[in-house]
Amino acid sequence: MFSKSILNWYNENKRDLPWRGKPEAYFVWLSEIMLQQTRVAQGLPYYLRFVEEFPTVHDLAEASQEKVLKLWQGLGYYSRARNLHDTAKVVSANFGGVFPNKYKDLKKLKGVGDYTASAIASIVYQEPVAVVDGNVYRVLSRFFGVETPINSTEGVKQFKALATKMLATKSPGLYNQAIMEFGALHCKPKNPQCVTCPVQSNCIAFQQNKVGELPVKLKKQKVRERFFNFLVFQDAKGQMLLQKRVEKDIWQHLYQFPLIESKHNLTLAEIKKTALLDNEKKVLQSIKRWNEKPIKHVLSHQKIWATFWCMAVKKLPENIQNTQQIANKQELMEFAVPVLMEKFINFKNG
């Protein structure tokens, strides 16, 4: 009864999204990777740009990583973009551009976990495997009154088993889309539409007035605070120095201005004493703090306080490293950079 009610609701309320209709593995995979931890409204424009630029998995595989990261710029979680590109290469080279048609084989692809593999296998190939995303956790925890934390090992197993039990095996792809859509549009985190809910009469959370308490989630890990000082070296021609982030950290393979990370917000006097400026003192003409107060930039488990220091120099280094680039204001727009830097660049170019 539950599955049938959810399917009926979906038939009447589903959104018209470009990867639905007659689903193809490439487009479903692309949409699922992009929409992880991202709202449809935010992710849709990116999806449309990607499809226009890379209409097939072969096109995506042949693109440079820089181009992929530039198109991804602003979506965050850049490891998803790097894994996306790597998987496209594998599917293009090893499978002739055709995605595996079994859940267990899809899971072997880089960046494809239980959820994405289940989505592709069920929606495209009609394999009866249940998807479990944030929306499904919420719907099932409320309907069945499950208080096991959804981000615990026990919870992950319990909800996967429950989702599998409720799966409409005759139309698994349709049902999986239906329950995810129901969670996104109707059984929402805040202000769910309980009054018009088609399964309200059997919903334990509604009956026990626990809708706002479910699902249960273990406390988040402690937020790490970081202090970034970007050094914007600029010569008389308007050229600037960029540095590629190569460490296994946030924004890997994106470009930024040379960076000093500190344990607190640095003063002008402290900036002048940093080792990074030692080699530049002969050509340094002036230092100016661009933002009076540090800019707060919040990531999932990190809070960054950023300050941009504008450094006028007589000339930029002639022998730059292979991880560095020199670019003028216009060329700067072509590099994949963190959103924090993108805002600075757009302001300076505006």
Give the tens place of pLDDT for each residue, 236-247. Answer: 999 999 999 999
Q: Which has the closest alpha carbon to 307: 249, 256, 266?
A: 266
The residues annotated as belonging to the active site are 32
* Alpha carbons 175 and 166: distance in angstroms, whole number: 9
For the chain, the average pLDDT equals 93
The DSSP secondary structure of 307-347, one letter per residue, reads EEEEEEES---SS--TTEEEE-HHHHTTS---HHHHHHHHH
Question: What tens digit of pLDDT does each residue of 155-165 get?
Answer: 999 999 999 99
pLDDT at 279: 61
pLDDT at 278: 63
pLDDT at 127: 97
Q: Enumerate the β-bridge partners of residue 225.
A: 303
pLDDT at 350: 52
Contacts of 6 (CB under 8 A, 6+ apart): 175, 178, 179, 182, 198, 199
Q: How far is CA 143 from CA 109, 139, 146, 204, 207, in A?
A: 33, 6, 8, 5, 10
* Alpha carbons 145 and 94: distance in angstroms, whole number: 45
Cα angle vertex 251, ends 246, 256, to 5°? 75
- pLDDT at residue 39 tops 80: yes
The whole-number average pLDDT for the span 200-225 is 93
Question: What tens digit of pLDDT does each residue of 54-85 get?
Answer: 999 999 999 999 999 999 999 988 999 999 99
pLDDT at 348: 67
**C-beta atoms surrounding 224 within 10 Å:** 10
* Alpha carbons 149 and 154: distance in angstroms, whole number: 8
Question: What tens digit of pLDDT does each residue of 93-116 get?
Answer: 999 999 999 999 999 999 999 999
Question: What tens digit of pLDDT does each residue of 329-345 get?
Answer: 889 989 999 999 998 88
Question: What tens digit of pLDDT does each residue of 313-329 get?
Answer: 988 887 788 899 999 98
pLDDT at 329: 87
Question: What tens digit of pLDDT does each residue of 300-309 get?
Answer: 889 999 999 9
